[in-house]
Amino acid sequence: MADQKLMEKIVSLCKRRGIIFPSSEIYGGFANSYTYGPLGSEIKKNIKDLWWQRFVRNREDMVGIDGPILLHPKTWEASGHVAGFNDQLVDCKNCRARLRADHLVESALNIDCEGLSDADVTKLITENDIQCPKCGKKEFTEVRKFNLMFSTEMAKAETPSNSHLSGGGNIAYLRPETAQAIFLEYKNVVDSTRVKLPFGIGQIGKAFRNEITPGNFIFRVIEFEQMEIEYFIYEKDWKELFEKWFDEMKKWCTDIGLPTENCHPYEHPKEKLSHYSKRTVDIEFDFPFGKKELYGLAYRTDFDLSQHEKFSGQKLRWRDEGGEPFIPHVLEPTFGVDRSVLATICAAYTEEKLEDGSERVVLRMKPVIAPVKVAVFPLMKKDGMQEKAHEILKQLQIFGAVEYDDGGAIGKRYRRHDEIGTPVCVTVDYDTLQDDTVTIRDRDTMKQERVKISALAQVLSERYFS
Ligand code: GAP
């Protein structure tokens, strides 16, 4: 069940506490574009670092790359994105709302537009008197295809290698998926490293899509980040490895704090598979606005490498000792960074009624994802306490981002850190100056305990960061 109120609270918390801001606000805003603030950028970095550690560094069968956003334009012809990465678009002539035509028909008539031509969808809209959901009028333009790739113009003069481009210009595309940069470097990676089939190449980076109807905060945006793996395999192994990768993806969800009961597999029906896929299973998550795609796992067969062979004229093959060269097949586990951030925040957001009748909001995030690992407070703004607190803060920087806070009543400081998910707070008080002990206060239980400063790092490491 969609919970719009909950979503509004989460968006407001993100803005208030410096997690995520709508971008370009001083110019009146820029639709569907967001800035990760001081805390949001920490959450995002924690997720990306964890992913890289787990899927690239900790696996003997994986390596990483960091490819460019602008790739040779032929890439997108070979991959099928120039011809096929389209949505059906329609404009309301009255209020100028720009709408996905298939979504309009689906919600009005409950008809699936998959495979219908633009003319057929136009006919459905006019013959059934469908209304514009924004203004209620029934005057639409014809339905037309709209390519979701952003294009840009290169300053460099046309060269023989890009003279095939449409209109003879110097158009390049901002990549709509990070995957293709990996396929383009398959040969370089094989030639320069000691990888052996099966092996994977991982990459984290920006992708851009000119989405017609973005929305739901950072769920669907025009500029986002992906963490993708292209895992090169023998064709015969695809079924078994597909299951293994899906298990890995489910484990990842648990490890970033997403409850198992809120993560659901979704098998794409055969007739709705992307042009490159023989099987795709998504993991959907129960966001406050409904059950939606979080991640995906696709069996891309040998489609991409075959296409790049054809378009580039280069051999992109694997050869076992004594065997014939062949094009490996590919499994693709793909993870959206922004959707990971949103899902972890939604899963962690909790409102609690306390025994004294007051309420608190807590982000019950896993310490590994939490933007601030430890907060250190001097009880009073007094000489001695402040210095000691700064001293302790320095020692605790080994755990990641830590924060010093001496503003306002201690209870308020605890509440602020509950709201941003700080797993533990450390308070320096009068006793600290006498006996070198501090109070540690746990975010989830709110229990407080005295700990020797000399044992503090060890205690926090064992309880929160091991
Ligand atoms: N290489 C395959 C691929 O790009 P996709 O399902 O189109 O597949 C992969 O995208 C992931 O990227 C999605 O599961 C989602 O997490 C994220 N994603 C896709 N479009 C997005 C958008 N407009 N805004 C935010 N995240 C998006």
Amino acid in the structure at residue 255? D
Whether 211 lines ligand 1, by a CB cut-off of 6 Å, is: yes
CATH topology of domain 45-69+175-346: BirA Bifunctional Protein; domain 2 (3.30.930)
Distance of alpha carbon 423 from alpha carbon 25, whole angstroms: 31
How many other CB atoms are found less than 10 A from the CB of residue 389?
A: 22
User: Residue 164 above 60 pLDDT?
Assistant: no
Residue 339 Cα: closest atom of ligand 1: 16
Ligand 1 atom 24 nearest Cα: 220
Give the torsion sign (CA, 17, 23, 28, 32).
negative
pLDDT value at position 115? 83
Residue 298 Cα: closest atom of ligand 1: 2
Ligand 1 atom 20 nearest Cα: 220
Whether 336 lines ligand 1, by a CB cut-off of 6 Å, is: yes
Q: What is the DSSP string of 257-276?
A: T--GGGEEEEEPPGGG--TT
Q: What's the rounded mean pLDDT across residues 43-61?
A: 98
Cβ(66)–Cβ(205) under 8 Å? yes
User: Residue 166 above 50 pLDDT?
Assistant: no
Whether 209 lines ligand 1, by a CB cut-off of 6 Å, is: yes
Whether 225 lines ligand 1, by a CB cut-off of 6 Å, is: no
For 65, the token pair is 């790359």
Cβ(342)–Cβ(218) under 8 Å? yes
Distance of alpha carbon 344 from alpha carbon 224, whole angstroms: 16
Domain map (residue ranges) of the chain: 45-69+175-346, 86-147, 372-464
| Same fold for the pair 45-69+175-346 and 86-147 | no
Prediction pTM value:
0.94
Residue 176 Cα: closest atom of ligand 1: 4
Whether 295 lines ligand 1, by a CB cut-off of 6 Å, is: yes
Residue 209 Cα: closest atom of ligand 1: 23
Ligand 1 atom 25 nearest Cα: 220
Ligand 1 atom 21 nearest Cα: 220
The full length of the chain comes to 466
Ligand 1 atom 7 nearest Cα: 177
- For residue 226, name the pLDDT band (cuts at 50, 70, 90): very high
For 374, the token pair is 């430890």
pLDDT in tens, 319-348: 999 999 999 999 999 999 999 999 999 999
pLDDT value at position 140? 96
177 CA from centroid of ligand 1 (Å): 8
pLDDT value at position 70? 97
What does each C-alpha distance from 282 to 294, 334, 349 come to in angstroms? 7, 9, 24
Mention the CATH class of domain 86-147. alpha beta
Non-local (6+) Cβ contacts of 110 within 8 A are none
What does each C-alpha distance from 334 to 40, 108, 446 come to in angstroms? 21, 32, 37
Mean pLDDT, rounded, of the chain: 95
Distance of alpha carbon 144 from alpha carbon 126, whole angstroms: 14
pLDDT in tens, 82-136: 999 999 999 999 999 999 999 999 999 999 998 899 999 999 999 999 999 999 9
Under DSSP, is residue 281 helix (H, G, I), strand (E, B) or coil?
strand
Whether 205 lines ligand 1, by a CB cut-off of 6 Å, is: no
Distance of alpha carbon 179 from alpha carbon 170, whole angstroms: 23
pLDDT in tens, 260-271: 999 999 999 998
Whether 339 lines ligand 1, by a CB cut-off of 6 Å, is: yes
What does each C-alpha distance from 439 to 88, 208, 272, 296, 355 come to in angstroms? 60, 47, 57, 44, 22
Residue 318 has φ and ψ, to the nearest 5°, of -115, 145
pLDDT value at position 114? 83
- For residue 161, name the pLDDT band (cuts at 50, 70, 90): low
Whether 228 lines ligand 1, by a CB cut-off of 6 Å, is: yes
pLDDT value at position 383? 81
Q: What is the DSSP string of 125-163?
A: HHHTTPPPTTT----BPPPEEEE---EEE-SSPP-GGGT
User: Residue 218 above 80 pLDDT?
Assistant: yes
Q: Give the pairing of strands 199-208 and 171-173.
A: unpaired
- For residue 380, name the pLDDT band (cuts at 50, 70, 90): very high
pLDDT value at position 157? 55
- For residue 2, name the pLDDT band (cuts at 50, 70, 90): confident
User: Residue 66 above 90 pLDDT?
Assistant: yes
Q: What's the rounded mean pLDDT across residues 183-193?
A: 98
List the beta strands (DSSP E) in 51-105: 62-64, 86-91, 98-100
- For residue 167, name the pLDDT band (cuts at 50, 70, 90): very low
Cβ(386)–Cβ(331) under 8 Å? no
- For residue 155, name the pLDDT band (cuts at 50, 70, 90): confident
pLDDT in tens, 355-368: 999 999 999 999 99
372 CA from centroid of ligand 1 (Å): 28
* Eight-class DSSP state of 57: I
User: Residue 17 above 80 pLDDT?
Assistant: yes
Residue 214 Cα: closest atom of ligand 1: 23
Residue 203 pairs with which residues in a beta bridge? 228
Say which CATH architecture domain 372-464 belongs to.
3-Layer(aba) Sandwich (3.40)
- Comparing CA positions, the residue from 33, 1, 46 lying closest to residue 363 is 46
